[in-house]
Amino acid sequence: MALNRKNKIRNYSMTSAADTIKETLAYRHLSADWLADMLQMDHEEMNKVLRRENYLTMDQLKQVQSLIGVSAQLLRKLDSNFLEHHLTPAELAKIEKLEQNSTDADFENIDDLDWDKL
């Protein structure tokens, strides 16, 4: 069978760590409230993370890894790719500046991004 070069490559939507965490929690019959308790987070903050309005720090991702078994590096890469795909260049520049000034690139302190545009 020969390669058909007329086939178009589809653009797939990017997924975030939140999607992977939600799927893993559902598969393991765990709740978001349980995860929030284990991470010592407010339940509303966890809901914001799962709605992609906020992001976990690297330390929190490492805790998630130990709790549900999904690699912290994978989750970090998913969020990084998701943000890169969905944010404007100006918003990405703000994140890069924060990453340079932070050891764990804590995204939860970004208050002035327009998350409604995502």
Q: Give residue limits of the domains in the chain.
A: 17-117
| pLDDT tens-digit map of 56-114 | 988 899 999 999 999 999 998 888 888 777 777 777 776 676 666 655 444 444 445 45
Looking at this protein, which amino acid is placed at residue 51?
R
10 confidence band (pLDDT: 50, 70, 90): low
Q: Does domain 17-117 have CATH number 1.10.260.40?
A: yes
In this prediction, residue 79 carries a pLDDT of: 86
Go through 68-82 and write b for each residue having 16 or more CB atoms within 10 A of its CB, e for each that does not. Answer: bebebeebbebbbeb
| pLDDT tens-digit map of 84-98 | 777 777 777 766 766
pTM of the model: 0.65
Q: Tell me the C-alpha distance between 65 and 95, whole Å.
A: 23
